[in-house]
A = this chain, B = another copy of it.
Amino acid sequence: MTQAFTLGIDYGTNSVRALIVDTRTGEEIGTAVAGYRHGEQGIVLDPREPNLARQHPQDYIDGMLEAVAGALKLAQGHAGFTPESIIGIGVDTTGSTPIPVDAQLRPLALDPHFEGAPAAMAWLWKDHTSHAEATEITAFARQEHPEYLAKCGGTYSSEWFWSKMLHCARTAPEVFAAAYTWVEHADWMPALLCGVTDPAQLKRGACAAGHKGMFHPSWGGFPDPAFLGALDAGLARVRATLPDEVYSIAEPAGGLSAEWAAKLGLREGTPVAVGAIDAHLGAVGSGIGTGTLVKIMGTSTCDIMTAPLEQGLPDIPGLCGIAVESVLPGCYGLEAGQAAVGDIFNWFVERIQPGGQGHDALTEEAGQLAPGESGLLALDWHNGNRTVLIDQRLTGLMLGMTLHTRPAEIYRALVEATAFGARAIIERLVEYKVPVERVICCGGISAKNRMVMQIYADILGRPMELSGSAQTCALGAAMAGAVAAGAAAGGHADFASAAAAMTHTHPDRFEPIPGSQAVYEKLYALYRELHDLFGQVDYSANPAHVMKDLLEIKDAARAR
């Protein structure tokens, strides 16, 4: 049987990675990373406006060429590989990262007329210049179309598609007027590779549309033109350029154009899958399927699940995003998350005790502690609560400090707090009949900190598996390429087949330790009381006893 390979292209916040994968074994035979030339670490900033974060589309082009060339070079040494054996391509990017384009889908930033204008560049996901517009859209939707908010957690974000567009209309009208339409970065890349220049031919992905663009089949796709027009006439104009249908990553966006085949050294016509947001393809690359929660653990955490469309799904209170086919074809994609996880640990280490022990020393010392021994309990709301309270104004809390409390105890309590928050999310899913049978983790923290993973296993009361790949997003993109290519071409008929062949979990997995789990059951009950009180979930909550109960747990932990 002939070997077949696919190429995954993964656009991160600061760099782009290319990865070449064997479709039969999942072996990663070549990978390379390229940075972006503009701005600081690839991000164009404005010292007068700290909320601004843009990227130059030319960097996306140049970075891809460099990364793909690098990956091909490494792959060449692999027995059985030739560039012709690449049968499919997939792309993931950050999102929502919309780009204003002209009527030929050319980014305005590439037009010399707009050279250097940040508004004409890609509006990076973490650009928060549009917070006022997000508030306006949320308020107006609450009044006119509350169903729009129900699918995105009750608040339309300043990070998302329409907020950014509206801010552009208000603050850079010449750019806004010149934009025929706006395209998510994840949609623009496949279109570019396939030579699609007619906006009517552009296949937009279900992922960004559903999670960031207020797209849902139940209201006929993108939002009502009248709704958008009432916000700004320009939005209605853009709305008219958007399709009624969006596509899952199983779909080819097209075939690689002659021009791009030549530039990349690949076969013309190679299927290029519809693009998606990095976290979602990371979930695919981790082997997501019904019953499997993929947890992407970094500065914040994203929890992704799928559920078969045919079974239907109620609105789940507190869940940030539910979209159709946003992760896998034929499934709802569910997105939950914690607004800060690694960021909380970094805050403590870098901001509160600079010159202190650092992550490694704190982890080493915190790892020696028994659950409950510190007498501390914290809420993980230093950046608000995304799921299940959807309240970004909530703040952190710590309780149980004494004059003997040490930094490592605080560090561990912060880790535990994030694990309690993770448990609250899983409990909500299970409560709404989304069974969580496995948890597979990927992302920086899962790979780096064994203590954190053990605490999560003990607190969640479940094994924590680790993704076997260190680049799950690129792998997920490569899998999309394999499915877009199809089984006959040496790819896969569907994602279940692709996942079975191309993904694996790490041999290490973290099992709950029964003794620790028992203590954490008690601590989680106390956490829930504080959570429900300060999250204003339960107005009859009276956690007056929490301090004393913690001391009993502490005494018991120390007596062992």
Point out residues on A near B: beta carbons under 8 Å: 340, 343-344, 347, 351-356, 375, 382-383, 393-403, 405-407, 410, 533-534, 536, 539-548, 550-551
- Is the Cβ of A383 less than 8 Å from the Cβ of B403? yes
Q: Shortest beta-carbon distance, A354 to chain B, in Å?
A: 7
A400 in contact with B395 given A352-B352, A542-B539 (CB within 8 Å): yes
Q: Which residues of B contact A545 (CB under 8 A)?
A: 536
- In addition to A354-B356, A541-B544, A542-B542, 14 A-B residue pairs with Cβ atoms within 8 Å of each other are A351-B406, A352-B353, A352-B405, A352-B410, A354-B355, A394-B547, A396-B399, A397-B547, A398-B401, A533-B542, A534-B547, A536-B544, A540-B542, A541-B542
> How far is A482 from B89 in the complex, measured between Cα atoms in Å?
97
| 8 pairs from A and B in contact (CB 8 Å cutoff) | A347-B403, A352-B407, A355-B356, A382-B401, A395-B400, A539-B542, A539-B544, A542-B542
> How far is A544 from B529 in the complex, measured between Cα atoms in Å?
11
- Is the Cβ of A401 less than 8 Å from the Cβ of B407? no
Q: Which residues of B contact A539 (CB under 8 A)?
A: 542, 544
Q: Shortest beta-carbon distance, A400 to chain B, in Å?
A: 5
User: Which residue of chain B has the shortest Cβ distance to A543 in the bound complex?
Assistant: B533
Chain A's interface: helix, strand, loop or mixed, by majority?
A: mixed
- Is the Cβ of B551 less than 8 Å from the Cβ of A395? yes
- Is the Cβ of B544 less than 8 Å from the Cβ of A533? yes
- Is the Cβ of A401 less than 8 Å from the Cβ of B410? no
Partner pick for A395 among B375, B383, B407, CB 8 A cutoff: B375
A548 in contact with B382 given A398-B401, A403-B347 (CB within 8 Å): no
Q: Which residues of B contact A551 (CB under 8 A)?
A: 393, 395
Q: Which residues of B contact A351 (CB under 8 A)?
A: 403, 405-407
> How far is A355 from B353 in the complex, measured between Cα atoms in Å?
8
User: Which residue of chain B has the shortest Cβ distance to A406 in the bound complex?
Assistant: B351
Q: Which 5 A-B pairs have the closest CB atoms?
A: A355-B355, A396-B401, A353-B353, A397-B399, A395-B400
Q: Which residues of B contact A540 (CB under 8 A)?
A: 542
> How far is A550 from B534 in the complex, measured between Cα atoms in Å?
12
- Is the Cβ of A396 less than 8 Å from the Cβ of B402? yes
Q: Which residues of B contact A343 (CB under 8 A)?
A: 403
- Is the Cβ of A401 less than 8 Å from the Cβ of B395? yes
Q: Which residues of B contact A353 (CB under 8 A)?
A: 352-356, 407
User: Which residue of chain B has the shortest Cβ distance to A384 in the bound complex?
Assistant: B402
- Is the Cβ of B402 less than 8 Å from the Cβ of A382? yes
> How far is A352 from B548 in the complex, measured between Cα atoms in Å?
23
User: Which residue of chain B has the shortest Cβ distance to A398 in the bound complex?
Assistant: B398
Q: Shortest beta-carbon distance, A196 to chain B, in Å?
A: 41
Q: Which residues of B contact A406 (CB under 8 A)?
A: 351
Q: Which residues of B contact A403 (CB under 8 A)?
A: 340, 343-344, 347, 351, 382-383
Q: Which residues of B contact A542 (CB under 8 A)?
A: 533, 539-542
> How far is A407 from B348 in the complex, measured between Cα atoms in Å?
10
A397 in contact with B396 given A353-B356, A354-B355, A539-B542 (CB within 8 Å): no
Q: Which residues of B contact A375 (CB under 8 A)?
A: 395
- Is the Cβ of B397 less than 8 Å from the Cβ of A402? no
> How far is A353 from B344 in the complex, measured between Cα atoms in Å?
16
Partner pick for A399 among B347, B395, B402, CB 8 A cutoff: B395
